[in-house]
């Protein structure tokens, strides 16, 4: 067992001997784990069947996983042989974070049971055992020393001390492993990610809240422990293996689902993520604030709907799928150039206002092309329904197919098609970001005046970014038209509770990490999945969602996946509370190629 010399800078929030604090965490986490094997309530009316003794279910499983992680991190911090690799960066911050996750999940479960069933009398002993154990673990974890010295400005006040308690130093360099072992680790990481994602989509409303609490704090604990940093180093070393593993894991998702509605959620997430990646070209690389970007998605969707053989289409034509895709992308490209040419000489807030106006003009125009207020093209507010399913090389996407012993339904078919589209968009984004024009975008984003002085045509560069972003959005819109069966103007509002819309797209880029590839993909997945799963909260849905965004921007302003430039911009020198990370698909062209 290792010992630590506690200085004033490392002083814990609660004055406890380090050994006693770790013993308390172990006892509390063990108690919380034991409680999951006891009944939490007496009736099956609460989802998840928490009445069985000896077999955890629902929220009990989530609490069990959180308690197990807390035990493992604590034992690793104690120097137990064979577990020290779990905490290469910070030994105490991960313990506090996972303990908070257990307390948050258990506390939510107790509150939900009491609220739904009519009081705390409906709680069985197992719920109290887990709740008390989680509370003991958190109190004891607050008695552990901080992993990094606290700045003098942060030593006063409980909030400053608590915030510093969550900081961890960068992970140390790990010894070299055989290439086969490193590849196995990468494969296992993506397999685990696939399982967690599939579990989250399959989770019912109450279970999803507990899953979200544990996953958020557990992922942060892995990051603070330094495991994510080490995984990033491996993925950067084996870039091709990483991209292949990511694609295979994503392709396996529909085969893990037995409910078509969950596969449909996955397809819509990919549509949202692809459009967010297109917006990342405009916002993340070129630095242009576009508040009407969802209109380009609508242009592609409407174009595909009009030429794909819908009985309600006024064009009366049916293009092959490849021709419909090219037509939709070309239409969005034309609109991008037409809108961008007269407006991109504006900057900042003025450009944002103009693009916001374009988004509203598009929606109103689609409403007015109804044969009454204007020509009969789009059927007005009724939109274009009955869009036929795609058929490509004899493969009908609207009918189930048996593949390798699995039955893949309509939603699964479109998911795999959209995954192919996403891969194409990722390739385009990556190649363009690493090219000369990509470096010019970053130069214009950082300082357009200086870029112009160095010979860069700022207007031409921005117009190319605007046109490329519009094309990628229209590209995804052609698939969205077929997935949703019908297209209406109300689907393309600036903001509503159902993404994709301009507000959620912009949030996905900023929260995920501007200028990266995996950032907008992750941000889009979270921003689509969370509102879809929190619908049972009704009026409180947006309140809690907004609060979560505020907290994320407070503690992670550079985004979930950030390049080093963003970290340096949002954190003072020497006060970075995150280790430098280089995701294999990050496009930190501003830092890596600024002098090219």
Question: Residue 493: inside a domain, yes or no?
Answer: yes
Residue 309 has what pLDDT? 82
In a domain, 247, yes or no: no
Q: Which of 240, 273, 288 is the last residue of a domain?
A: 240
How far apart are the C-alpha atoms of 123 and 581, rounded to whole Å? 44
Residue 123 belongs to some domain of the structure: yes
| pLDDT at position 160 | 54
**Do the Cβ atoms of 304 and 478 come closer than 8 Å?**
yes
Indicate if 223 and 289 belong to the same structural domain.
no
Residue 376 sits at φ, ψ, to 5 deg, of: -85, 95
How far is CA 316 from each of CA 113, 305, 312, 319, 552, rounded to the nearest angstrom?
A: 56, 11, 8, 10, 49
Same domain, 265 and 213: no
Cα distances (angstroms) measured from residue 114 to each of 119, 310, 535: 4, 51, 20
216 and 121 in a common domain: yes
Flag whether 381 is in a domain.
yes
pLDDT value of position 151 = 45
Q: 236 and 359: one domain?
A: no
Cα radius of gyration rounded to whole Å, the chain: 26
Report if residue 509 sits inside a domain.
yes
Same domain, 373 and 471: yes
The closest alpha carbon to 200, from 190, 214, 217, belongs to 214
Spatial neighbors of 130 by CB under 8 A, at least 6 apart, are 31, 32, 33, 34, 35, 36, 40, 60, 63, 67, 106
Structure confidence at residue 549 (pLDDT): 77
What is the spatial distance between Cα 214 and Cα 196, in angstroms, rounded to a whole number? 11
Beta strands in 37-169 (DSSP E): none
Single out the residue of 442, 447, 474 nearest to residue 461, CA to CA.
Answer: 442
Q: Which two tokens stand for residue 66?
A: 């959180």
Residues 230 and 267 in one domain: no
Instruction: State the Cα–Cα distance between residues 70 and 64, nearest whole angstrom.
Output: 10
Q: Measured on CA atoms in the order 481, 484, 488, 494, is the torsion positive or negative?
A: negative
Spatial separation of the C-alpha atoms in residues 564 and 558, rounded to whole Å: 9
User: Cα separations (Å) of 28 from 38, 86, 378, 468, 583?
Assistant: 16, 20, 62, 54, 36
Give the residue ranges of the chain where pLDDT is below 70. 1-13, 148-175, 496-498, 537-539, 564-596
Domain boundary, last residue among 240, 273, 294:
240
Same structural domain for residues 233 and 289?
Answer: no
> Are 220 and 352 members of one domain?
no
Distance (Å, rounded) from C-alpha 595 to C-alpha 275? 30
CA 303-309-312 angle, to 5 degrees, is 85
d(CA 324, CA 80): 61
- Whether 434 is in a domain gets the answer no
Same domain? 319 vs 398: yes
CA-to-CA distance for 3 and 57, rounded, in angstroms? 38
User: Would strands 406-408 and 401-403 be described as parallel, antiparallel, or unpaired?
Assistant: antiparallel
CA distances from 115 to 209, 210, 522, 538 (A): 15, 15, 33, 16
Contact 318, 305 (CB under 8 A): no
Identify whether the C-beta of residue 459 lies closer than 8 Å to the C-beta of residue 329. no
**pTM above the 0.85 mark?**
no
Residues 186 and 281 in one domain: no
Helices 227-237 and 179-202: angle between axes, nearest 10 degrees: 120
- Reduced to 3 states (helix: H, G, I; strand: E, B; else coil), residue 50 is coil
Specify the number of domains making up the chain. Answer: 2
Q: Please give the Cα distance from 428 to 426 (Å, whole number).
A: 5
What pLDDT sits at residue 565? 66
Contact by Cβ (8 Å): 428, 472: yes
Last residue of a domain, one of 240, 273, 298: 240
Short-list 462, 466, 524, 503, CA closest to 294: 503
Question: HSE on the CB side for 97, CA within 13 Å?
Answer: 26
Residues 205 and 326 in one domain: no
Instruction: Tell me if the bond preceding 500 is cis, omega within 30° of 0.
Output: yes
Domain assignment of residue 295, given as a range: 261-408+456-592
Is residue 576 assigned to a domain? yes
Neighbouring C-alpha atoms within 13 Å toward the C-beta of 171: 24
| Longest Cα–Cα distance in the chain | 80
What is the predicted pLDDT for the residue at 7? 52
Q: Are residues 267 and 220 in the same domain?
A: no
Instruction: Tell whether 442 is covered by a domain.
Output: no
pLDDT at 13: 67
Report the C-alpha dihedral over residues 109, 92, 187, 416, rounded to 10 degrees. 40
Read out DSSP for 312-361?
T-SS--B--HHHHHHHHHHHHHHHHHHHHHHHTTS-HHHHHHHHHHHHHH
Q: Which two tokens stand for residue 322?
A: 């490849």
**Residue 590: its pLDDT value, please?**
40
């Amino acid at each position: 067992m290792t010992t630590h010399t506690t200085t004033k800078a490392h002083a814990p929030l609660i004055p406890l001997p380090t050994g006693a604090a770790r013993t308390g965490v172990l006892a509390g986490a063990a108690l919380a784990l034991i409680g999951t094997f006891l009944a939490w309530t007496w009736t099956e009316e609460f989802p998840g069947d928490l009445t069985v003794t000896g077999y955890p279910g629902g929220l009990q499983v989530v609490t069990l996983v959180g308690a197990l992680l807390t035990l493992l991190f604590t034992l690793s911090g104690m120097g137990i042989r064979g577990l020290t690799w779990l905490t290469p960066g910070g030994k105490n911050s991960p313990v506090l974070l996972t303990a908070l996750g257990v307390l948050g999940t258990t506390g939510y479960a107790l509150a939900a049971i009491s609220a739904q069933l009519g009081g705390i009398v409906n709680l069985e002993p197992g719920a109290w055992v887990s709740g008390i154990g989680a509370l003991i673990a958190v109190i004891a974890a607050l008695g552990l020393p901080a992993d990094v010295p606290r700045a003098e400005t942060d030593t006063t006040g409980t909030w400053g001390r608590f915030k510093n308690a969550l900081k961890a130093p960068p992970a140390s360099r790990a010894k070299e492993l055989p290439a086969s072992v490193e590849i196995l680790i990468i494969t296992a990481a993506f397999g685990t990610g696939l399982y967690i994602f599939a579990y989250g989509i399959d989770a019912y409303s109450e279970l999803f809240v507990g899953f979200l609490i544990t996953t958020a704090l557990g992922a942060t604990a892995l990051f603070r422990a330094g495991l994510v940093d080490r995984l990033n180093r491996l993925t950067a070393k084996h870039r091709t293996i990483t991209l292949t593993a990511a694609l295979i894991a994503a392709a396996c998702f529909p085969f893990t689902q037995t409910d078509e509605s969950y596969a449909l959620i996955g397809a819509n997430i990919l549509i949202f993520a692809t459009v967010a990646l297109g917006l990342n070209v405009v916002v993340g690389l070129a630095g242009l604030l576009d508040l009407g970007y969802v209109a380009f998605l609508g242009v592609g969707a409407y174009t595909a709907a009009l030429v794909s053989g819908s009985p309600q289409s006024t064009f009366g034509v049916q293009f092959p799928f490849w021709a419909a895709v090219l037509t939709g992308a070309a239409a969005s490209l034309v609109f991008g150039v037409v809108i961008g040419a007269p407006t991109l000489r504006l900057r900042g807030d003025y450009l944002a206002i103009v693009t916001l106006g374009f988004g509203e003009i598009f929606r109103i125009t689609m409403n007015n092309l109804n044969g009454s207020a204007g020509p009969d093209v789009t059927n007005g507010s009724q939109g274009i329904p009955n869009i036929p399913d795609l058929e490509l090389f004899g493969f009908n996407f609207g009918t189930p197919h048996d593949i390798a012993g699995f039955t893949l339904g309509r939603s699964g078919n479109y998911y795999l098609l959209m995954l192919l589209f996403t891969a194409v968009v990722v390739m385009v984004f990556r190649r363009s970001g690493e090219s000369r024009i990509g470096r010019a975008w970053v130069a214009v984003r950082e300082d357009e005046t200086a870029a112009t002085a160095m010979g860069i045509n700022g207007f031409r560069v921005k117009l190319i970014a605007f046109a490329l972003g519009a094309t990628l959005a229209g590209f995804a819109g052609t698939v969205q038209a077929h997935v949703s069966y019908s297209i209406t103007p109300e689907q393309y509002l600036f903001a509503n509770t159902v993404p994709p819309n301009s507000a959620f797209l912009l949030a996905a880029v900023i929260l995920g990490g501007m200028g990266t590839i995996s950032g907008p993909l992750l941000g889009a997945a979270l921003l689509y999945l969370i509102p879809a799963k929190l619908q049972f909260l009704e009026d409180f849905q947006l309140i809690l969602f907004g609060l979560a965004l505020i907290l994320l921007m407070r503690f992670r302003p550079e985004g979930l996946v950030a390049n080093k430039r963003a970290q340096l911009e949002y954190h003072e020198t020497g006060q970075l509370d995150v280790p430098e990370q280089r995701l294999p698909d990050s496009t930190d062209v501003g830092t890596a190629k600024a002098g090219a």
